[in-house]
Amino acid sequence: MASPIGVQGTLAVKTDDTGSSISIHISEPAGLTAENLSLSTWGASFILANQLHSISLPPDHSAPAEDSGATERPWMLELGAGTGLVGLSAAAIWGTKVTLTDLSNIIPGLAANISLNEPLLKQSGGSGSCGTLDWTDPATLQLHPDGNGGDLMTVDAGTSKASVILAADTIYSEEHPELLSKTIVTWMAPGPRSRAILCYPLRMAYIDHVREFWELMEAAGLECAQEGRESGDDNWNELSHTPYEWCVWRWKENEGQS
């Protein structure tokens, strides 16, 4: 559930199955809250960050080679980013640009963590930005280039889509299945190469919400392409018998193609 980090810490995130890892620096300053929850790195974020290296993405999701002639990199979007562990890990592992989104109160924390990891992101060819995205009105997001309220830039889902959408532990109320699935469908780029990658703990209180989310995703024309489960970790104050489920979604054939 909640993070053992404290105010600031460094987490080792796997980059392969041989023991290699990268160090992601995370701060959790006191006083930042949203939906009555304090800013924290949740266990599902740690699980998903460490699962990214094993998830099969179609070609063209990493930064283009210098001699490839390509100028545009695929764009990834994290929903309900919290401290940004998943998005920052994705940017470093896949060498791509990721926008971390959450409610406005959380933006200063996201901006601080992007800054803490900037050397790693530059080294990997990735980059991070942050912005606010309201799931009740998901058609636009407000980018915060400086991590504060100034110089906002509006990004419209009608003209800009994400090739990969990331979300960890974002299903814990009865409103979330509809809001989350709608937001994913709004921002997920058309075509067979796009993916939505999620992880959540299978807490008994929220099993029905997870089932509803799956039903809504399938009804929207998406299908699960890859899934798995990982055990809980007492270090994250989650019950050891509570499993985490991760899943990778794609458009069904002939769906989301326009």
Q: What is the DSSP string of 160-180?
A: --BSEEEEES---STTHHHHH
Question: How confident is the model at residue 110, as a pLDDT?
Answer: 93
Side-chain-side CA neighbours of residue 112 (13 Å): 17
User: Within a 10 A sphere around the Cβ of 221, how many other Cβ atoms?
Assistant: 14
DSSP 189: P
Which of these, 107, 191, 178, 91, lies nearest to 142 by C-alpha position?
107
Structure tokens, 67: 């001699």
Helices vs strands, H then E, count in the chain = 6, 13
Domains along the sequence of the chain with CATH: 75-251 (3.40.50.150)
CA 233 to chain centre: 20
Question: How confident is the model at residue 250, as a pLDDT?
Answer: 97
Longest dimension (CA), the chain: 52
- Between CA 205 and CA 239 the distance in angstroms is 14
Please state the pTM of the whole predicted model.
0.88
Residues in the chain: 258
Question: How confident is the model at residue 150, as a pLDDT?
Answer: 61
Per-residue pLDDT for the chain (258 aa), expressed as one digit of tens each?
A: 455 555 568 999 999 999 999 999 998 765 545 444 445 687 899 999 999 999 988 876 554 444 433 334 569 999 999 999 999 999 999 999 999 999 988 899 999 999 999 999 999 999 999 999 999 999 999 999 765 556 789 999 999 999 999 999 999 999 999 999 999 999 999 999 999 999 999 988 899 999 999 999 999 999 999 999 998 666 655 555 778 999 999 999 877 655
Structure tokens, 206: 């929220």
Question: How confident is the model at residue 71, as a pLDDT?
Answer: 37
Structure tokens, 47: 């699980």
- Helix ranges (H only) for 34-163 are 43-51, 85-94, 107-116, 118-124
At residue 250, φ and ψ (nearest 5 deg) are -140, 165
Structure tokens, 119: 């050397």
CA 165 to chain centre: 6
